[in-house]
Structure 1
Amino acid sequence: MCGIMGYSGLRSPLPLLVSGLERLEYRGYDSSGVAFFDDIGALSVVRSVGKVGVLKDLVNDRVAQPGAAIGHIRWATHGGVTLENAHPHQSGPIVLVHNGIVENDQAIRIYLRSLGVECVSETDSEVLSHLIRIEYEKDGVFPEAVRRALGQVEGSYALAILCQNDPADLVVVRNGPPLILGLGEGETFAASDIPAFLHFTRKVHTMENGTIALIRHEEVKVGRLDQALSEWAPPSSLRSISWDPVFAEKGTFRHFMEKEIFEAPRAMMDTLADRLSVTPVLPELDRSVHGRPPVVAFVACGTSWHAALLGRAFLEQAGIPAFVEIASEFRYRKLLLPPGSWVIGISQSGETADTIGAMESARRAGFLTLGISNVPGSSLERECDLCLLTHAGPEIGVASTKAFQAQVALLMMLSLALGEGSPRTDLADALIRAPHRLELFLESLSPESLDARVERLRESRLVMFAGRGLDYPLALEGALKFKEITYRPADGYPGGELKHGPIALIEPGVTVIAPLVDRLLRAKEISNLREIRARGGYVLAVGPNVVKEGHGIWYDDRIELPDDPPWSGIYQAAGVLQLLAYRVASALGNDVDQPRNLAKSVTVE
């Protein structure tokens, strides 16, 4: 998975490209590069290994003519992290950047060798530049050459392409990975995600799968890959993005992750706005048309999977059977669901390849598909029968924080909307109050109050998270946050499962963090934690009324949550676990926003 950006307009494009790539860096940061027309009109390519800052230094004194330009940030799939594998790739007058996978890469290489063309990189992307160059040499018509070349390609791709002989023209193509056009005054942007150009325009067009566009400044013509250039037309579907550009800036915070933890209350409020008063109102969901599902299957990956586990608990409270599957496994299983079942896919970006693939399978099988995403116009939104959008705003940190909180709030509201009988006004009231309660709680957590806990976790040989009921998904999410940004071993377990194997890991130097939001199972969880302490483990309890619960000593330290209803406590506990992971990773000197080997949105299988 990578990030691509293109520009065609009347301004010098290099500063725009670099700033856009910096905002796309969460999508990959192994290497980066740009292609542009220099001060004498020659097509120049500059590439670097490492983050965009390295590239920025390389192009700092370069001059680019107004016109078309492209940029790329890479998350390695085919080939190692080397300068040769960095994008853009060039073949004669053709230069391109690519996000996706060329599945018939080897067959194309064999074909190219038969023509005397040898690839110099290990990437599958390079073969595309050679194919397009070969087609271009036949008639010199740039966009038609792209269209013909891609007819020989199997796989997924989002492309931005330049041609030496057409300095104002940018050709972009989408077949799978996201590609969004931003239409400004006298200029047009193309990027993998909206934050890349949000500072310059909010008017966007989301390209459909199998479409190609020719861009010349503010003139845009879009067509299908099976349509000749003469049939292309200006985009008909434009939308205005309401995201505030300030969400894509760190402001006074050290990292985006820290900022986004504290933006969670606002993200929740924006998600609930106009949807919840005394009872939930989901205009996207017409109960008279869609009814009440006999069974719900959630499919998701990573943090969204943990949100789905909480969604299952919420739906079960509403009397609806539900189960949760990891999307990459679900999509290859036989779907043995009763007629009328719903399949709900959750993805912050709406571009997670495994989740989209799972939803495609469910839709082909005849089940109603419902997407939950944070990005308007995403692939998930277009793939599903229905889509519910969270309104968390752009989330730049790779480790998801505010988007998780917004997903959980929306799932809670969905369960209320699908409930039978009299409305659960107590739960609706708790949900309405939850964002403000979370905001007050986060403000009460001074950095000094966490210092000792951070040092303890930093020195721990192993950190485990344990919970039961509602606390189990929180334990899994806490462990994921911890391991992905601290690089330290961490695992989450159901409290009752500790004695069936994981307890063998317990010894002095091991810390167990226990969220204790679920009141019904708290006594049983405390019993499990006693077993941990009896074997030398250090227990950090996170919950309300901890000091009043249980008999005797069963924890070593506690972070007290407000005595709110359990459904509010979920958000507060999640905020604590996010902050602890963030603070430990910062203390270790890690790159919190861009942890190694990870990318924000995984658009490859």
Structure 2
Amino acid sequence: MCGIIGCAGHEGDTVPVLLNGLARLEYRGYDSTGLAVSNSDIHVVKREGELDELVETVESEIEVDGVAGVGHTRWSTHGKPSDANAHPHTDCENRVAVVHNGIIENYQSLRDDLRSLGHEFESNTDTEVIPHLVGHYLDAGSSPKAAFHRAVEKLEGSYAIAAVFESRKEVMATRQDSSLVLGVGDEATYVASDMTALIERTDSVIHLDDGEFAFLSPDGYTIIDEDGERQSKAQTTIEWDVEEITKGHHDHYMIKEIYEQSAALRECLRNRSTTDRLISLDTFDDYHSVDRVHLVACGTSYHAALFGAQMLRERGVSAQAFLASEYAMTPAPVQDGTLVVGVTQSGETADTLAALRAADERGARTLALTNVVGSSAARECDEALYIRSGPEISVAATKTFASQLVTLTLFALHSSSTESNHETRRLVSALDELPGQIQRLFDTTTAGEIASRLADGSGYFFIGRGLQYPVALEGALKMKEITYEHAEGFAAGELKHGPLALVTDETPVFVSAVGDNETVRKTVANAEEVKARGAPLVAITDGTSSIERLADEVLRVPSTSRELAPVLVNVQYQLLAYHTARHLGRKIDKPRNLAKSVTVE
């Protein structure tokens, strides 16, 4: 949600730097864009709609540049998408321009107070109170730095803020519960909400902590804490490169990232099993003290958490998965030996961070299972376990979900006190084969053809049992996210308890039935119920069960272990969603109303 880019030190080139950074932030989801540059005065340009609208306006209107500037992609929370509501916002005298991610919870009372002092507002946003507060303190005689600090002290809520002042060659920034990183270049310094905005400028970043302020200039940067004490912080090297955040020859980031899953899983598995095929994780060695596990997550990551919880339970570890937004409000009881695992791709998901903080307050040990080194979750938790997927640009998660499933499998094996060495070796062997199996699936899939035949369905149902149930939920979510069509995932046995009333001959039902055990046979029986109602039936199978005799369409996956079959099934579901959305002409990488990183609760 929303994106921030700022720079100090690119005199005569600030606007192109900002526009390039905004282009790299488009994937987060947005409905308007804007930028401000500081010279003898402040020049602001902002537009509702796509970044192209801003670029066109800048090319036709802007006549000045400056040494310092800030830019923003907005995802609306307060006030509809419009030019007026786009960021940056300024004070009454146009002395300061501010961009902001997050929500200012006390904005209405601040707005009322400022109006009573004569301030006039031009937008419906919560953000606009920030520059007006700064202006108020400037009027009272404060220096720009002091005015910025005093204004931030008045704010309640979550925020990442960057600001520029007239006639000053610096960017001021701060954060509270919202990601913000500094980039350190040879001739300029940068600030951004996301490392992807900085990759082309620098590979050295510093993660700001809550309450810290950063002051960027062409000569460097200064960081202070909320008490004004100067801080010395280590720089982190970004290991991603530019090629990883471009589409290459692909039409969409989503299909590129689907195809990257083989490589992502190889990286996920690298150096995580020993020569005798036992698990060796790079963090979290003290697993013997864990008696119970709470996994907290949102969206796709929640489906991974459901999978992980079952994997743990099957190995004798008491485990539950919780929606992070609910856990944050009503945390489950924490006892000695409780580990709370936050599953979050970005490490910045607001609901998941809130759940982890609630767990920490109750005395739980915490672990971040995330993709981003140095993210808020990774820094705040007691330990971090990385899924190693590399950058994911499409809003719809694909390769990160596969890596979450595999990392949680490793974690379950690592944490088990009952798993035999034979069983561990069996699964490690299957894990080693998985990347190659995914690659073979790409070579043989008919998902595109099936999607074109079923794209006119009135709704889509996905069913599975056991470890296939979370993947049924994820398959439905992918279909919803990028096709805008109704889709639901169900535990296969639950169809007859209500949802079957919705099944018609225009409701394709996708059934995952891999292997031929009792669970699969029960799933086939559920498929019989669907077939009796005339629904088109699509089977995802390795060919060993009897599901094909019922199916109207078949998608094959390679044979693998029961535990890892969901990973392969999910790849077919991703391809089905992608090709259906393409057939329907949807905006695949940036689906409407959605954001990549959800940084508000």
Q: Confirm or deny a common fold (TM above 0.5).
A: yes
Matched letter for residue 261 of structure 2? A
Using the alignment, how far apart are the partners of 2:3 and 2:515 within structure 1? 40
Q: Deviations over 1:191-212 (max 9, x none)?
A: 1100111111110100011000
* Equivalent in 120, 130, 135 of residue 133 of structure 1: 135
After superposition, residues 583-594 of structure 1 pair within 5 angstroms as: 583-594=579-590
* Residue aligning to 1:152: 154
Q: Please give the secondary structure, in 2, of the residue aligned with 1:459.
A: coil
Deviates more, 1:271-280 or 1:345-354: 271-280
Assess if the C-alpha contact under 8 Å between 2:515 and 2:559 holds in 1: no
Matched letter for residue 232 of structure 1? R
Q: Which runs of 5+ in 1 are unaligned?
A: none
* Residue aligning to 1:532: 530
Using the alignment, how far apart are the partners of 1:112 and 1:28 within structure 2? 31
Using the alignment, how far apart are the partners of 1:338 and 1:567 within structure 2? 29
Assess if the C-alpha contact under 8 Å between 1:205 and 1:239 holds in 2: yes
* Residue aligning to 2:283: 284
Using the alignment, how far apart are the partners of 1:84 and 1:295 within structure 2? 50
Using the alignment, how far apart are the partners of 1:600 and 1:356 within structure 2? 16
Using the alignment, how far apart are the partners of 1:332 and 1:37 within structure 2? 43
* Residue aligning to 1:301: 298
The reply on whether 1:484 has 2:481 as its aligned counterpart is: yes
Using the alignment, how far apart are the partners of 2:594 and 2:440 within structure 1? 32
* Equivalent in 229, 232, 243 of residue 230 of structure 2: 232
The reply on whether 1:374 has 2:375 as its aligned counterpart is: no
Using the alignment, how far apart are the partners of 2:448 and 2:224 within structure 1? 57
Q: Please give the secondary structure, in 1, of the residue aligned with 2:140.
A: helix
Deviates more, 1:151-160 or 1:551-560: 551-560
Assess if the C-alpha contact under 8 Å between 2:37 and 2:66 holds in 1: no
* Residue aligning to 1:203: 204
* Residue aligning to 1:105: 107
After superposition, residues 334-353 of structure 1 pair within 5 angstroms as: 334-353=331-350
Matched letter for residue 53 of structure 2? V
* Residue aligning to 2:463: 466
Shift of residue 246, structure 1, vs aligned partner? 0.8
Q: Please give the secondary structure, in 2, of the residue aligned with 1:359.
A: helix
Shift of residue 517, structure 1, vs aligned partner? 3.2
Using the alignment, how far apart are the partners of 1:388 and 1:551 within structure 2? 38
Shift of residue 249, structure 1, vs aligned partner? 0.2
Q: Please give the secondary structure, in 2, of the residue aligned with 1:454.
A: helix
* Residue aligning to 1:506: 503
Per the alignment, do residues 551 and 367 of structure 1 end up closer, same or farther by CA in structure 2, a change over 3 Å counting? closer
Using the alignment, how far apart are the partners of 2:123 and 2:98 within structure 1? 14
Identity of aligned residues (%): 38
Shift of residue 393, structure 1, vs aligned partner? 1.0
* Residue aligning to 1:599: 595
Using the alignment, how far apart are the partners of 1:469 and 1:450 within structure 2? 24
Matched letter for residue 179 of structure 1? L
Q: Please give the secondary structure, in 2, of the residue aligned with 1:555.
A: coil
* Residue aligning to 1:46: 45
Assess if the C-alpha contact under 8 Å between 2:37 and 2:70 holds in 1: yes
Q: Please give the secondary structure, in 1, of the residue aligned with 2:549.
A: coil
The reply on whether 1:310 has 2:304 as its aligned counterpart is: no
* Residue aligning to 1:171: 172
Shift of residue 140, structure 1, vs aligned partner? 5.1
Per the alignment, do residues 87 and 522 of structure 1 end up closer, same or farther by CA in structure 2, a change over 3 Å counting? same
Per the alignment, do residues 320 and 518 of structure 1 end up closer, same or farther by CA in structure 2, a change over 3 Å counting? farther
Matched letter for residue 153 of structure 1? L
Using the alignment, how far apart are the partners of 1:311 and 1:17 within structure 2? 40
* Residue aligning to 1:268: 265
Using the alignment, how far apart are the partners of 2:512 and 2:67 within structure 1? 55
Matched letter for residue 130 of structure 2? L
Deviates more, 1:581-590 or 1:479-488: 581-590
Matched letter for residue 533 of structure 1? K
The reply on whether 1:399 has 2:428 as its aligned counterpart is: no
Deviates more, 1:142-151 or 1:470-479: 142-151
Using the alignment, how far apart are the partners of 1:218 and 1:261 within structure 2? 42
Q: Please give the secondary structure, in 2, of the residue aligned with 1:139.
A: coil
Q: Deviations over 1:311-360 (max 9, x none)?
A: 01211222112111101111111422442111111010111111110111
Assess if the C-alpha contact under 8 Å between 2:34 and 2:45 holds in 1: yes
The reply on whether 1:122 has 2:124 as its aligned counterpart is: yes
Using the alignment, how far apart are the partners of 1:22 and 1:552 within structure 2? 46
Per the alignment, do residues 66 and 105 of structure 1 end up closer, same or farther by CA in structure 2, a change over 3 Å counting? closer
Q: Deviations over 1:411-432 (max 9, x none)?
A: 0110111122543101111112
Using the alignment, how far apart are the partners of 2:336 and 2:2 within structure 1? 39
* Residue aligning to 1:188: 189
Q: Deviations over 1:81-114 (max 9, x none)?
A: 1111110001120101000111111110111012
Matched letter for residue 208 of structure 2? M
Matched letter for residue 533 of structure 2? R
Per the alignment, do residues 519 and 296 of structure 1 end up closer, same or farther by CA in structure 2, a change over 3 Å counting? farther
* Residue aligning to 2:494: 497
Using the alignment, how far apart are the partners of 2:181 and 2:440 within structure 1? 37
Matched letter for residue 106 of structure 1? Q
Assess if the C-alpha contact under 8 Å between 1:471 and 1:518 holds in 2: no
Matched letter for residue 52 of structure 1? L
Using the alignment, how far apart are the partners of 1:218 and 1:450 within structure 2? 54
Shift of residue 524, structure 1, vs aligned partner? 0.3
Using the alignment, how far apart are the partners of 1:550 and 1:542 within structure 2? 12
Alpha-carbon RMSD = 1.6
Per the alignment, do residues 210 and 252 of structure 1 end up closer, same or farther by CA in structure 2, a change over 3 Å counting? same
Deviates more, 1:20-29 or 1:571-580: 20-29
* Residue aligning to 2:573: 577
Q: Deviations over 1:47-68 (max 9, x none)?
A: 1111112111111254543511
Using the alignment, how far apart are the partners of 1:268 and 1:517 within structure 2? 21
Q: Which runs of 5+ in 2 are unaligned?
A: none
* Residue aligning to 2:54: 55
Deviates more, 1:501-510 or 1:137-146: 137-146
Using the alignment, how far apart are the partners of 2:463 and 2:72 within structure 1? 41
Using the alignment, how far apart are the partners of 1:218 and 1:201 within structure 2? 15
Q: Please give the secondary structure, in 2, of the residue aligned with 1:566.
A: coil
Q: Deviations over 1:356-415 (max 9, x none)?
A: 101111111111111111111111112211111111111110000011011111101101
* Residue aligning to 1:34: 35
Using the alignment, how far apart are the partners of 1:473 and 1:404 within structure 2? 11
* Residue aligning to 1:19: 20
Matched letter for residue 196 of structure 2? P
Deviates more, 1:10-19 or 1:120-129: 10-19
Shift of residue 143, structure 1, vs aligned partner? 1.5
Shift of residue 218, structure 1, vs aligned partner? 4.1
Q: Deviations over 1:114-153 (max 9, x none)?
A: 2111212110000001001111233352111100111111
* Residue aligning to 1:567: 563
Per the alignment, do residues 426 and 23 of structure 1 end up closer, same or farther by CA in structure 2, a change over 3 Å counting? same
Per the alignment, do residues 173 and 519 of structure 1 end up closer, same or farther by CA in structure 2, a change over 3 Å counting? farther
Per the alignment, do residues 492 and 518 of structure 1 end up closer, same or farther by CA in structure 2, a change over 3 Å counting? farther
Q: Please give the secondary structure, in 2, of the residue aligned with 1:369.
A: strand
Q: Deviations over 1:144-178 (max 9, x none)?
A: 11001111111111011000121x11101111110
* Residue aligning to 1:319: 316
The count of corresponding residues between Structure 1 and Structure 2 is 591
Per the alignment, do residues 207 and 307 of structure 1 end up closer, same or farther by CA in structure 2, a change over 3 Å counting? same
Shift of residue 551, structure 1, vs aligned partner? 7.9
Matched letter for residue 104 of structure 1? N
Shift of residue 6, structure 1, vs aligned partner? 0.4
* Equivalent in 506, 514, 523 of residue 521 of structure 2: 523
Using the alignment, how far apart are the partners of 1:118 and 1:253 within structure 2? 48
Per the alignment, do residues 552 and 381 of structure 1 end up closer, same or farther by CA in structure 2, a change over 3 Å counting? closer
* Residue aligning to 2:4: 4
The reply on whether 1:436 has 2:424 as its aligned counterpart is: no
Q: Could you tell me the TM-score, scaled by structure 2's length? A: 0.96
